[in-house]
Structure 1
């Protein structure tokens, strides 16, 4: 049986419409601490020079030069030179940023942080972000972070030299950073991740997941997927349930509905065309599955 393989992480990032935007950089020195309001999107910062502390969710993370972090929840956080320094609100400091696009606090310039945000579509929280820890901290010295360091160096160069379309290039490089941060997390946490992220780390489940994503409209059976993973049907069903939290055909139904919902949000085609594209033989079959999963009909979903 010829079976294509796909990348579920790539599919999810594309489906939720991931975009990036760089924010004002921060230069700091001496004794300083800034208290940040909960960001409206996924926040990232990279320490390009010096060292400081990140305090988020009651946990303190020492940050060294080359480290970066991702805040996957909208939570208040503090960046500081030391734990004992009383933080001041970050808003006025960044509002007073100079024409060079840099905010300054404290005395001196021994610390430089580059920052930005990632924006996602409406389904990102349930499909991706809730499966990640609130803070992803990537040490810059880790061998696996080499590509991340390269991307940060390129962002620095774009923002420093300002060639044509430098902001656009830098923001695309930030997306490369996001993918590498997620890759490093997957490699570290492995099957401890919930949902499909954990399934990607399971050598039995991962081939089946990739096959489902490569051809979701195919009339898959558990036997077909077990053949892809070269295990028995009972083994695949048990491992899939253990890793992903649901059976393979239930997962397939959920992913088909996600694809259909994305097309409905875009106004992409008739209901009959959408049904065929995601693996349902008729509009009524799609409507039945859609309402069972989402609680509403495709027509009502499109109108809303």
Structure 2
């Protein structure tokens, strides 16, 4: 798989909800803190404002625009943010998975949304790269996202047998499309996520993800990227925010943490599968990156 697919597969995004609302103006809805969730929303029809907790300025959204809310912060959406808001917890409480709710007679604004729970400590690896609110504007090259949204709305309206499973798959597709478009829009950011937009650096990252146990060096990764060693090392650090070897170690430890949590493989086998001939060298690297020894990893996560 590619790096984005690899990391999303570790996060195991679980689609908790796909729903929508069709609302008449004037309106405002206050959404509470979402917990350790990531939310996407698409303006299918009409326009509205969104104001996110901690951000000083609201953002105006129009038909075809999408938003990504990665940190679960409370937010307010409305035709006019000065309108006394309805509370989402009360307003949508009877609404089930895949249901479009009509409010105020409908007709002015239609919004489709998906909410995901992200599992595991690896969630920070993605969320740390993203702002509290990312806006993806409607434009010609967003055809794949538009098709996904249109199919989502059709499934919600029809409610055919199997629609819940179809909506879950569409929600994952919508999340990936939004992440792709945001990555390409804001490629000047620093971190592994934005580095994927760099054709040469992404080749080196893909090589690491394809074979993390390989005895990689800066020289061999530079050859994968088609660059000189010095130019590659400097550019990788500039784009990713850490050296190639530090990124390699970090990714290996993410994989190790996944195996420790979800397999019964012994530490000696895990360390060897990730390129460490010495269990002690692996344990030292794991503790440095993950903050605890491998043997105590699962117990540390269970501690409140």
Q: What TM-score do the two structures reach when normalised by structure 2?
A: 0.91
Which of 114-123 and 7-16 deviates more?
Answer: 114-123
Q: CA deviation at 1:292?
A: 2.1
Q: Which residue of 1 aligns with 2:4?
A: 9
Pick from 84, 88, 91 the counterpart of residue 90 of structure 1.
Answer: 88
Q: Which residue of 2 aligns with 1:178?
A: 175
Alignment of 1:136-151 (within 5 A): 136-140=134-138, 142-151=139-148
Unaligned runs of 5+ in 1: 1-5
Q: CA deviation at 1:118?
A: 1.5
Give the Cα separation in 1 of the matches to 2:100 and 2:19.
Answer: 6
SS at the partner of 2:230? Answer: helix
Q: CA deviation at 1:104?
A: 4.1
Q: CA deviation at 1:123?
A: 2.6
Q: Which residue of 1 aligns with 2:236?
A: 240
| Residues paired across the two proteins, number | 297
Pick from 181, 203, 206 the counterpart of residue 202 of structure 2.
Answer: 206
SS at the partner of 1:14? Answer: helix
Q: Contact 1:194 / 1:243 at 8 angstroms: preserved in 2?
A: yes
SS at the partner of 2:58? Answer: strand
SS at the partner of 2:128? Answer: helix
Q: CA deviation at 1:117?
A: 0.2
Q: Contact 1:93 / 1:103 at 8 angstroms: preserved in 2?
A: no
1:48 aligns with 2:44: yes
Unaligned runs of 5+ in 2: none
Give the Cα separation in 2 of the matches to 1:139 and 1:174.
Answer: 18
Q: What TM-score do the two structures reach when normalised by structure 1?
A: 0.91
Pick from 154, 157, 160 the counterpart of residue 157 of structure 1.
Answer: 154
1:29 aligns with 2:24: yes
1:251 aligns with 2:247: yes
1:38 aligns with 2:33: yes
Give the Cα separation in 2 of the matches to 1:81 and 1:303.
Answer: 47
SS at the partner of 1:174? Answer: helix
Q: CA deviation at 1:107?
A: 4.4
Q: CA deviation at 1:98?
A: 8.9
Q: Contact 2:253 / 2:286 at 8 angstroms: preserved in 1?
A: yes
Pick from 164, 186, 191 the counterpart of residue 189 of structure 1.
Answer: 186
Q: Contact 1:24 / 1:94 at 8 angstroms: preserved in 2?
A: no
Two-structure CA RMSD over aligned residues (Å): 2.0
Deviations 1:229-263 (A, max 9, x none): 22221111111111111111111111111100110
Q: Which residue of 2 aligns with 1:121?
A: 119
Would the alpha carbon gap of residues 181 and 108 (structure 1) be closer, same or farther in structure 2, given more than 3 Å must change? closer
